[in-house]
Each structure stands twice: as structure tokens, then as C-alpha cells.
Amino acid sequence: MPFNLLPACFLNVYMAKIRFLLPVLLIPYVMLAQTKSPETRLKELGLQLPEAAQPVASYVNYVKTGNLLFLSGHAYCGQATTVDHGKLGKDLTSTQGYEAARRTTLCLLATLTEATGGDLNRVKRIVKVLGMVNSAEDFTEQSKVINGCSDLLVEVFGEKGKHARSAVGMAALPGNLAVEIEMVVELRED
């Protein structure tokens, strides 16, 4: 009997079974994705970590206390691009700010790699992100900008990359940076 001639009650039962089975069939694929190392995910995304930036004043890039790693506020690493400096809502769009946040996150990941001795598998969880956005007075899309950071962390770490977050607007940032982001990370036991 052709599919389109089946009585509606059979079709409803069939669709209910598919809705039940689809998640069960996808579980192995989700599990496989979660077992990939962060370094493998970065390669699959076509991303390469820059060299970690060195502090420019009397502070350090990170402090470890217990199993928590506190990363200082970071900006982009390496050569500046057109998205790295400027005020959101005046000089830059939210889309450009999103890209600036992704670039800044790569710098955070470079420092995190340094802090973990080159092994991002030591990351148990990204705990907290504080994203500061250089904002024009009427700019209100700070969360869209810092999504550039949050999205990349989830792409790289999967569920372990989901975190608590604040995205705030600032009247200015040092050197007219577009974004500055700091992060707290929980590490696995040594």
C-alpha cells in the first residue's frame, strides 16, 4: 500500500516511533563528538591558536588556585584586524564585534594551553566568562557580541564549554579595544 494511502492513525503511530527512535539513533554520534579532544576540534574548525600574549603591566596572564584557573582580561593576539579596535554601535557592527570576541577567545585558548602544559584535555569545565564590550552610549547588543566567545567555547569543548556569563558595555577599553574577555576554568586533578 502506498505511503500516502495509509490511514492517518497508522501515520501518527509511525511518526511517534520515528520521534522516539531519532534521538536514540543520534546518541552515538553525539557521544563521539564529545570524545574528540579540543585540539582536534580546533583543527576541524580550521583554527590555529596564536602565540599567547605576554602581560603589558604588573599582572600575570593567569592564576591557578586549587582546581580553578583565573585568566586575566584578554584581547586579540597577533596582528590587529579591522574588528579589533573601535566602539560597537559607532565604529563596528555587532557582527564585527562577534568576530572580535572569537579572535579574543583564540587568545584566551592560547593562554589556557600554556597554563595546562599544552593539554586542553585537562579542562573539566569553562566556569565563567566576563565579556566587556566597548560600546556607544545607545548600543545594547553586548550579549550578541560576546556570543562570539561563548559559541567558540562550546564548539571546542562541547558541553564542558557551556558556562555562566556576563556581557557588559563599557564606555571605553584600553587602547580602544573592541572587546576584552576574562575567564574562569575548572581543571581536572593533576
Is it the case that residue 150 has pLDDT exceeding 90? yes
CB-CB contact of 65 with 160 (8 Å):
no
* Through-space distance between the first and last CA atoms of the chain, rounded to whole angstroms: 63
Query: Which tens digit of pLDDT belongs to each residue from 40-51?
Result: 999 999 999 999
Residues 6+ apart with CB under 8 A from 75: 53, 84, 104, 107, 173, 175, 177, 179, 180
Is it the case that residue 20 has pLDDT exceeding 60? no
How many C-beta atoms lie closer than 10 Å to residue 64's C-beta? 12
pLDDT for res 29: 45
- Higher-confidence residue of 85 and 19: namely 85
Q: Can you give the pTM of this predicted structure?
A: 0.81
* Kind of pairing between the strands at 123-134 and 164-170: parallel
Gap between the Cα atoms of 146 and 50, Å rounded: 20
How many C-beta atoms lie closer than 10 Å to residue 44's C-beta? 12
Residues 6+ apart with CB under 8 A from 169: 88, 133, 135, 139, 140, 142
Mean pLDDT over 62-82 rounds to: 96
pLDDT for res 189: 85
Is it the case that residue 71 has pLDDT exceeding 50? yes
